[in-house]
Structure 1
Amino acid sequence: MPFDLLTDFDWSHLFTWRTAINIVDIMIVAFFIYQLIKIVRGTRAIELLKGIGVILLLKLFSAVLQLNTTEFIVNFVIQWSALALIIIFQPELRRGLEHLGRGSVFGRRKKSNPSEVVVEDMAQAIQYMSKRRIGALISIEMESGLDEYIKTGISIGADISSELLINIFIPNTPLHDGAVIIKDFKVMTAASYLPLSESSAIPKKLGTRHRAAIGLSEVTDAITLIVSEETGEISIARSGNLITEMSSNDVVDYLNKELVMSEKEKETQGPLQRVVDSVRKGVSGK
């Protein structure tokens, strides 16, 4: 008998254009309620929403029990609540509109490539230190591991920022003497010791920072940036070679070529090839 009722039911009245519109309407309202909860979560607005819930419950309670005086007061509060909510929730409403304007309500903003962040912050720091002749030595791990040299420094483990790099190399501070080592787009250590090159081809005018940078480049494929404390000149050491007299724009171009392009190549590389490269790296110990 129940099966007969289902077969006799006219389903055409259920699946109509009006039904589809109602479903879309409900989904839109649910979506914005969800986004509203995300925006106010963790703010004082949550406590205010709880207070509003108490007022609505009091309204229902007074209507059921016919508490006329209480209901009159609650109705008066609700009547003026729209204006009060705009004033109380002004910071949250502004933040919500900003999210909507940036399009972040409908999805997360695409994060920058980590290597692009490295280039931007490092270029700002290098330019700042070069103008003020603040000596600096920054090594970026590539394929060859730098764990041996990371162990010699003071652990930082912080995200890269130009302010952090500048503060590390401020003269007469505990961390300024030695190298900063960057690994996996993080500042891993400061005040690390690098191997000094014994090459007789290095000009005598170059100091310990340059000799250390060249020394590391002779045994690894790391990129090392040097800022001269005496002249403010920017140099880059890589593969046993030293590129001198670089401008901040030259540094950006070089790092974009070596870091950003290689990172994009990894993104377009197939998953099987990435596994193979990972295994090769593990076997070689680099």
Structure 2
Amino acid sequence: MIRFLSIRDILDILIIAFLIYRILLLLMDTRAMQLVKGLLLIGLVSVLARALHFEVLSWMLGKFLGVLFIAIPIVFQPELRRMLEEIGKGSLWRQTVSKEKAQSLADEVLRALMYLQSQRIGALLVLQRSTGLKDIWQSAVKLNAEISQEAIVSIFWPGNPLHDGAAILDRERIIAASCFLPLSDNPDISRWLGTRHRAALGITEVSDAISLVVSEERGEVSFAIRGHLSRGLKEAQLRQLLLHYFLSENEPASLLERIRRTLTSFRSGGVDDDEANR
């Protein structure tokens, strides 16, 4: 007899699916995630063994899984504790970065930019958004490092083998360094802009990424998005732009509007690309 699903059944399934999804997100980039993949594979093999009536294999896998579930809390105690702490903070229900975390990440990047500017050390940071840049960084030096002032400064420090190229960041990590970007072929770009600025513009022309450039010649920080460049940004501008980025929920229109308002409100402190390139 076929039993139709009720609204309560559908709601029950959706809640369970959401909980599993959120827990998997918390386990991403941890050793425990590899364990989950292994368990899923073993579970799949166990189901197939039962379906094909492989009695011995089914018995062995059942015993193995029983022992494994006892060992998991012991071996993966740090990861499980971190996951429970995140759940206690409400991270199970929120997908966005917390305001405190966004502020911390923005401050780390800002301090790095200000230090590089003060020392006149050239740098190029690319902030990845919804368009994946794997085709750019897969041939570069993969870092997967935490975002910090020290890490960013060390990448671009003169003499470091990684300083020649761009560093790509997402909202949580430094993905890779020594990345070579496509150069802009816009004929209206000022001839006084060098390769670093052309690369910063080029990547924003082929993706929705954001670029931040520190000029070693002029000692200024520039910002590029959608093929447009704003030069001579001040610290307050950069702080607001970075906060907008790290707080963004992958809503391009909303993020662009907030960035546009920030640049407009500080226009007297910065130089827009249309003015700078003429």
- TM-score relative to the length of structure 1: 0.52
Cα 1:144/1:108, change in 2 over 3 Å: closer
Please point out which of 217, 222, 237 is paired with 2:224: 237
TM-aligned CA deviation for residue 112 of structure 1:
5.4
Q: Which residue of 1 is the match for residue 162 of structure 2? A: 175
- Counterpart in 2 of 1:126? 113
Structure 2 vs 1, CA of residues 234 and 112 (structure 1 numbering), >3 Å: closer, same or farther? same
Q: In 2, Cα distance between the equivalents of 1:236 and 1:108?
A: 34
Write the distance in 1 (CA, Å) between the matches of 2:229 and 2:250. 26
Deviation at 1:152, TM superposition (A): 2.5
- Which position in structure 1 is the counterpart of 2:142? 155
Larger Rg: 1
SS at match of 2:192: coil
Alignment of 1:78-117 (within 5 A): 113-117=100-104
Q: Does 1:251 pair with 2:225? A: no
Distance 1:265 1:197 in 2: 25
Identity between Structure 1 and Structure 2 (%): 37
Q: Assess, with a 3 A threshold, how the Cα gap between structure 1 residues 214 and 265 changes in structure 2: closer, same or farther.
A: closer
- Give the match's secondary structure for 1:246: coil
How far 1:184 sits from its partner (Å)?
A: 4.1
Superposed displacement of residue 253, structure 1 = 1.3
Partner of 2:95: none
| Contact 1:126–1:248 under 8 Å retained in 2 | no
Q: Using the TM superposition, give the Cα deviation of residue 128 of structure 1 relative to its aligned residue in structure 2, in angstroms.
A: 0.5
Matches within 5 A, 1:21-36: none
Q: Which amino acid aligns with 1:159?
A: E
C-alpha distance after superposition, 1:47-81 (max 9, x if no partner): xxxxxxxxxxxxxxxxxxxxxxxxxxxxxxxxxxx
State the SS of the aligned residue for 2:238.
helix
Write out per-residue CA displacement over residues 263-282 of structure 1, whole angstroms, 9 at most, x where no aligned residue: 4989xxxxxxxxxxxxxxxx
SS at match of 1:225: strand
1:118 positional shift: 2.3
Paired residue for 2:180? 193
Root-mean-square deviation (Å): 2.4
The 3 A distance-change label for structure 1 pair 265 and 202 is closer
Q: Matches of 2:251 and 2:189 in 1, distance apart?
A: 34
Q: Which runs of 5+ in 2 are unaligned?
A: 1-84, 92-97, 253-278
Aligned equivalents of 1:205, 1:119: Cα separation in 2? 30
- Residue 199 of structure 1: SS of its match in structure 2? coil
CA contact (8 A) 1:195 1:212 kept: yes
Q: Is the 8 A contact 1:136 1:226 kept in 2?
A: yes
Tell me, in whole angstroms, the C-alpha distance in 2 between the residues paired with 1:198 and 1:253.
Answer: 29
Which residue identity is paired with 2:211?
T
Q: Is the 8 A contact 2:130 2:250 kept in 1?
A: no
1:165 aligns with 2:152: yes
Q: How does 1:187-226 map to 2 (within 5 A)?
A: 187-226=174-213
Q: How many residues align?
A: 160
Deviation at 1:109, TM superposition (A): 11
TM-score calculated relative to the size of structure 2 = 0.53
Which consecutive residues of structure 1, in runs of 5 or more, have no partner in the other structure? Answer: 1-103, 267-286
Shift of 1:255: 1.9
